[in-house]
């Protein structure tokens, strides 16, 4: 099976897509797993030309986060993409995306970007939105595909596309999970056997929360917390229920669609997950 063509420059990417109207983009930072590949497969359903970007974006890493620790596995990624209908992999070096060492103008995510993951990682979402805006401007896809697992990121990308009238459709693929329920993530490779077993408490907590949705918000939170309390290796960062239309926390009287979000440190690895529910 042939690998996608690798393009490392903005000019080269634009030249390759000149005159091509039917394009879907899957933005990634590499270290591809089956969750990413589900996005790729969806992109291939949506458009005749699929572009996967592989770029470890320095703008979304904070001062206390190790940019150099993020796995870079381009050769393995290209092998994983072989035969999946991907025409191009856009894999620019940092100085191609940020030739001046950064950007004077950045996209900001507003109040939502400063909460939850944004509170734990200040500036993270501004970095994400800025690089996604750049990728959309370079590739100009009709569709861009994201996973539901990074729910806050997805919400902010959807808002950016809507608010800035960007001519692309944001398509969403539900969270891909391992057979035992753990949401697939590039960070899972950092879990040892004990931490991986403990990490299953996150998906179990979400299941417990969803099963309690008919009893109100307090029951939802209590059900999730009761699961997490049994795992000493799991250190909860936040457990919140938000309105998916605004990403604001719901109040005690809220009824309707909601999403429960969880972030926790399991051993030395920070994981996030989420699940939809309907409060009645």
Q: Write the secondary structure of 68-115 as one string of H (helix), E (strand) and C (coil).
A: HHCCCCHHHHHHHHCCCCEEEEECCCHHHHCCCCCCCCCCCCCHHHHC
User: Whole-angstrom Cα distance, residue 12 to residue 96?
Assistant: 11
User: Whole-angstrom Cα distance, residue 260 to residue 206?
Assistant: 7
Write down the residue that tokens 């390759």 correspond to. Answer: 16
75: tokens are 């050769």
Phi, psi of 276 (to 5 degrees): -85, 150
**Number of residues written out for the chain:** 280
Residue 36 annotated to the active site: yes
Q: Of residues 36, 124, 143, 162, which has the active-site annotation?
A: 36
Q: In which order are the strands placed within the sheet that holds 23-28? A: 5-7, 86-90, 49-54, 23-28, 143-147, 169-173
Compute and round to an integer the Cα radius of gyration of the chain: 19
Query: Helices (H) and strands (E) in the chain — how many of each?
Result: 9, 9
Contact assessment for residue 233 and residue 266, using Cβ atoms and an 8 Å cutoff: yes
Contact assessment for residue 14 and residue 96, using Cβ atoms and an 8 Å cutoff: no
165: tokens are 């009238």
User: Whole-angstrom Cα distance, residue 255 to residue 266?
Assistant: 32
Contact assessment for residue 74 and residue 91, using Cβ atoms and an 8 Å cutoff: yes
The residues that are catalytic are: 36
């Amino acid at each position: 099976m042939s690998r996608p063509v690798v393009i490392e420059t903005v000019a080269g990417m634009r030249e390759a897509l000149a005159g091509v109207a039917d394009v879907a983009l899957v933005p990634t930072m590499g270290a591809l797993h089956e969750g990413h590949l589900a996005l790729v497969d969806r992109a291939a359903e949506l458009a005749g030309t699929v572009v996967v970007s592989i770029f470890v974006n320095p703008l979304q890493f904070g001062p206390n986060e190790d940019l150099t620790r993020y796995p870079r596995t381009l050769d393995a990624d290209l092998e994983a993409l072989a035969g999946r209908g991907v025409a191009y992999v856009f894999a620019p070096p940092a100085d191609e995306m940020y030739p001046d060492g950064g950007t004077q103008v950045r996209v900001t995510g507003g109040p939502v970007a400063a909460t939850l993951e944004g509170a734990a990682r200040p500036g993270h979402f501004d970095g994400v939105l800025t690089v996604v805006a750049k990728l959309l401007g370079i590739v100009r896809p009709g569709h861009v595909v994201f996973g539901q697992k990074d729910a806050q990121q997805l919400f902010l990308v959807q808002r950016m596309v809507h608010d800035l009238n960007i001519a692309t459709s944001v398509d969403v693929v539900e969270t891909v999970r391992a057979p035992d329920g753990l949401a697939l993530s590039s960070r899972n490779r950092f879990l040892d056997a004990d931490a991986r077993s403990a990490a299953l408490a996150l998906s179990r907590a979400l299941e417990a929360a969803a099963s309690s949705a008919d009893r109100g918000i307090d029951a939802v939170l209590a059900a999730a917390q009761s699961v997490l309390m049994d795992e000493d290796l799991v250190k909860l960062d936040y457990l919140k229920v938000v309105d998916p239309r605004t990403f604001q926390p719901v109040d005690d009287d809220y009824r309707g669609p909601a999403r429960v979000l969880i972030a926790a440190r399991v051993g030395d690895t920070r994981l996030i997950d989420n699940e939809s529910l309907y409060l009645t």
